[in-house]
Amino acid sequence: MIISTYLGNPGKKYEATRHNLAWIMLEYTGFAGSLNWNAKFKAKYARLANPESIHLKPETLMNLSGESAAAALGFFKLAPGSMIVVHDDLELPFGTVQLKKGGGTGGHNGLRSIVKLTGSPDFFRFRMGISRPPAGRDVASWVLSRFSEDEEALLPDYCRLAAAYFETILRNGPVQGEKRVLVNF
C-alpha cells in the first residue's frame, strides 16, 4: 500500500500559490473525483481500492505536515518508504517533475517536518518544479505567491501531464526515476 501525501497550505489565501502546487495537481488526476475525503490525522484522507492507496492532504500549515504524515504511517503500520510526498520544489524549473527517494530537505519546511516526525528521509518525493525566485526576491514570499501570467497559462498542461505521470507511478509502484520536463516556456 502507498500513502500519497500532498503538501500545501489550507485556506483560501494559499489556494493558487506555488506552495500549493501539489494540491492543484491532485485535482487533475483521474481519481480526484472518486476520493471520498474523511477527517483524520490532522488531514483530509481517502482510500482507493485500485490501485490500493491512501491519499492524504494535511490540514496543518506546511511547516507542520509531518504531524499528519507520521500519524497516518503509524496508524496503517507502514514504513516511510511506503509514502510518496508530492511537493513544490525550488530546485527544479517550472514545468519539470522528478521522482526521487530519500535525500535532504532542500530547505523545504514541509519535508523537514516529515523527516523529523517520521524519523526518516527515506520516502519518495514527487518533486514539482516551481523555479527559484528572481534575484533579490525572498524565498518565503516566492513560494507563497501566485504563479506569473505565463506560468498560469501553462499550469493546466503542467498539472495534467504531471497527474498522468503520477498515476503511472501509483499503478506500477514508485521507482526512482528520471527528471521529466513536461512544459517549457
Cα–Cα distance measured from residue 113 to residue 119, given in angstroms and rounded to the nearest whole number:
10
Crossing angle of helices 109-118 and 65-75, rounded to 10°:
40
Given a contact cutoff of 8 angstroms between Cβ atoms, the answer to whether 96 and 181 are in contact is yes
**From 19, 55, 87, 108, the catalytic residue:** 19
Helix, strand, coil percent content, the chain, rounded in steps of 5: 40, 25, 35
What residue has cell string 518508504? 81
19 has catalytic annotation: yes
Cα–Cα distance measured from residue 147 to residue 62, given in angstroms and rounded to the nearest whole number:
18
Active-site residue list: 19
